[in-house]
Amino acid sequence: MKDSRPFLRLKHVTFSYYSVTGETQALEDINFSVQKGSFVVLVGPSGCGKSTILSLISGLIKPVSGDITFYSEDFAAPRIGYMLQHDHLLEWRSVYRNIMLGLEINKIKTAENLAFIDELLEKYHLSNVKDLKPSALSGGMRQRIALIRTLALRPDLLLLDEPFSALDYQTRLSVSKDVYDIIKSEGKTAILVTHDISEAVAMADTVIMLTKPPCSVKGIIPIEFEKYGITRDEVRNSKLFQQYFDEIWGEMKNENTN
């Protein structure tokens, strides 16, 4: 039975950046909620405030007004893993020591956590690269490592900010599929940001469409391939995929023109 209470809710969230050159109102009125275990994708034109929303959810910045609420059974603060647009692997550390960065920072290099990292590397066939320097890896490989680095802290919620945008098209397809599989098999709740509509449709349980700035929610579309017995491996060839794509495209095309 599905838990109907959301895991996370944003209510009337607004945000502005202030600087000497003036105020930039980034978010006008953001409302949406995220169910536990779901994969939510935010789509919107570039500069509309997608990264700002993730930074707010992660707690790195505070909203000007509105509420961001997490609901958990044990009232503990949720652990949030945030994967930035670029992998930012540190070139002087080996792949393995890059993955350990979060454990080092939080001073939790316990035997149990180290074993967990080994397990992740093993499970996703990355053990053989762990002693290499990041510069020896391909772009797709680097993103997988960045994901493992995020997962090493066992987050309850994963935030992914355009993690595939720096990859070429072929790599993008295979890496996004891998990342999807990893997140689903770890049973994580995830919010992914992209401006690529087909990527959104392929990965999402729910697509949230955002307007151009100042940003608000334009529409929320549940993506229900599973209901029609279509597995995620084959969605891109299905007619339903085209329908979802066209629907979102139709809504979003007005947002991209200024």
How many residues bind other proteins (CB under 8 A)? The answer is: 20
**Min separation Cβ 94 and other proteins, Å:** 10
**Residue 51 near ligand ADP by CB under 6 A:** yes
**Residue 88 near other proteins by CB under 8 A:** yes
CB nearer to ligand ADP: pick between 46 and 243: 46
Of 22-30, 78-86, 206-214, 250-258, the segment contacting other proteins by CB under 8 A is 78-86
Task: Give phi and psi for 124, each to the nearest 5.
Answer: -105, 25
Between strands 8-19 and 22-34, the pairing is antiparallel
Query: Which of these, 237, 245, 246, 240, lies nearest to 228 by C-alpha position?
Result: 240
Crossing angle for the helix pair 111-123 and 139-151, to the nearest 10 degrees? 150
3-state secondary structure of 149: helix
What would the two tokens of residue 143 be? 């993103």
Q: Pick from 32, 82, 96, 180: which binds other proteins (CB under 8 A)?
A: 82
Q: Pick from 64, 68, 84, 230: which binds other proteins (CB under 8 A)?
A: 84
Query: Which of these, 258, 256, 257, 228, lies nearest to 43 by C-alpha position?
Result: 256
Distance between CA atoms of residues 210 and 119, nearest Å? 38
**Residue 48 near ligand ADP by CB under 6 A:** yes
**Residue 77 near other proteins by CB under 8 A:** no
**Residue 91 near other proteins by CB under 8 A:** yes
* Residue numbers at the binding site for ligand ADP (CB under 6 A): 17, 19, 24, 26, 44, 46-52, 213
